[in-house]
Structure formats: C-alpha cells, structure tokens
Amino acid sequence: MMVNVVVLIKQIIDIDQMKTDSEGKPILTGIPYRLENLSKNAIEAAVRIKEKNGGKVTGIIFGTEAGTSAMKESYAMGVDEGILITGYKGSNPQVTAKAILTYLKQIQFDMVILGDQSADSYTGMLPGLISAGLGIPLLGNANNIAIDGKTVRITQVGEAENVEMEAEMPVVVSVTQEINEPRLPPVLQIMAAGRKPIRTEKFDGSFNNVNVISNLAPKSERKRKVFEKVDEGIAEVVKVLKEEVR
C-alpha cells in the first residue's frame, strides 16, 4: 500500500550565530535561517516510509520568504513537493496550526509527520493542535514507526518502560531525535533540488492572543577565587559542593 506523507518543516534562525546585547536581548539582524535539526529527523522518517511503501512526500513550511532555502534542503533530502506559507510573525503555535491546517486540508494524505517540539519555543503544542484540527489520532513522541496495511504503530521510550501505540490512517505522528540519523543527500540530489519549484502561499489570517513580554538570555556570573595553598582550595571546594547538595 502506497503511503502519502505530509511532513511539517520548521525554519529557525541559526542559534549558533545569535548574540545578545548588553541587556540580554537577542540580536537577530543579519542572522541566517536554517532547517531545524528535528525537522530533518521528520523528513528522514517520511522519506524512509516512501522508500519502503511507495507514495509521495509533501513538505509544508510556515515561515518567511527565507524559508525557500530550508525547502530546497528538504527537496535534497527526498521531499517531492513543497508548500511555503509566508506570513509568519512570531512563535505562536495556534497561529502556526491555523496556517498549516488551511492548506493541509487541501491535500490527500495518509500520515502527517512532524517533530515533537521546535528548537525556538519548545512548546510541544503543534502536534496536538494539528491532530485536533484534522480530527484524526495523534501518535506522539515516536522513536520508531512501523506500517502494516492501514495500521501505524509507534514506539515511545519512557523512563521506566517502552510504550507501543497504534492507530489507523490517517494519523499524525510526532517524532523525537532518536528515531533516526538523517542521511546526507548526494551532490546530484542537492543540485536537482535547486531547480525544483516551490508553491508559495500567503497566510493573512493571523490572530494575536499571545503577547511576548520579554525574550532575554539568562544572566550568569562567574566568580573566581585563587588559593595559594592547595589544601585550602580543596577544603573550600568541598564546602561549596556540600552547600549545593543541601
């Protein structure tokens, strides 16, 4: 049975290049966007399902015009078609879900795959919002996906035991980073990805029910003491460690 998969892809600013000002506010000017790592796991999971069962992988990004680079990278990894929805104005899971659902409902699919959370806000809300918006089951936090006919089975790794869940298609599956190791695309696929068209849509139905009060880097202070005698230094370190344990 062929399985048509929609993978929800996240573009984020390159956090490794982000700096903060003297007040701890992030400096976003000039910071490039990149494909989120967990989205790579979701794409890899979708592509492996296609390779095993046949079908098509469609990628959806809700972001800015800069999302074209993330979509091109997704193409190189094996995504067949892409929809870039522009109009993103900030991290609000409800707005993101509304934008994605607007176009997701226009697609024939058997499964929606996405990361269990995003690297910029870590709310973990989107899988549930997409599942509720579509009225289909959610199999969450999967680190393994198996398909038997129309049945999708996943495995969750818990602290005490593994949990297995299953549901009939169509279904939403959120994945963890442990599900796979994304493969590096070959050069020919990277070159071909640059020539593939991207369907671009504009989402104007944003609503604002969440106000970000502040977004600051945590303050950290480094204290250094120099001891001339080793015994005194060791005694002080042991004292501090004991106080931390209390």
Residue by residue, DSSP assigns 13-32 as: E-GGG-EE-TTS-EE-TTPP
Mean pLDDT of 110-134: 88
Determine, yes or no, domain membership for 224.
no
Mean pLDDT of 99-114: 95
Determine, yes or no, domain membership for 225.
no
Determine, yes or no, domain membership for 231.
no
C-alpha 169: how far from chain center: 22
Integer Cα distance of 144 and 158 in angstroms = 13
**pLDDT value at position 28?**
63
Beta strands 199-202 and 81-86 are parallel
Integer Cα distance of 82 and 198 in angstroms = 5
Determine, yes or no, domain membership for 239.
no
Instruction: Choose among 79, 34, 32: nearest CA to 60.
Output: 79
Report how far apart, in Å, the C-alpha atoms of 237 and of each of 53, 87, 224, 226, 229 are.
59, 53, 12, 12, 13
Determine, yes or no, domain membership for 228.
no
Determine, yes or no, domain membership for 204.
yes
Does the pLDDT value for residue 212 go beyond 60? yes
Burial of 168 (0-12, 13-18, 19+ CB in 10 A): exposed
Question: In this structure, what token pair is assigned to residue 242?
Answer: 């004991």
Domain that includes residue 202, residue range: 5-217
**Helix 67-77 and helix 37-53: axis angle, to 10°?**
40
Helix/strand/coil for 128? helix
Which of 8-22, 90-104, 181-195, 210-224 comes out lowest in average pLDDT?
210-224
CATH of the domain at 191: 3.40.50.620
Mean pLDDT of 112-140: 89
Per the structure, how many domains does the chain have?
1
C-alpha 165: how far from chain center: 22
What percentage of the chain carries pLDDT values higher than 90?
Answer: 58
pTM of the model: 0.81
**pLDDT value at position 226?**
73
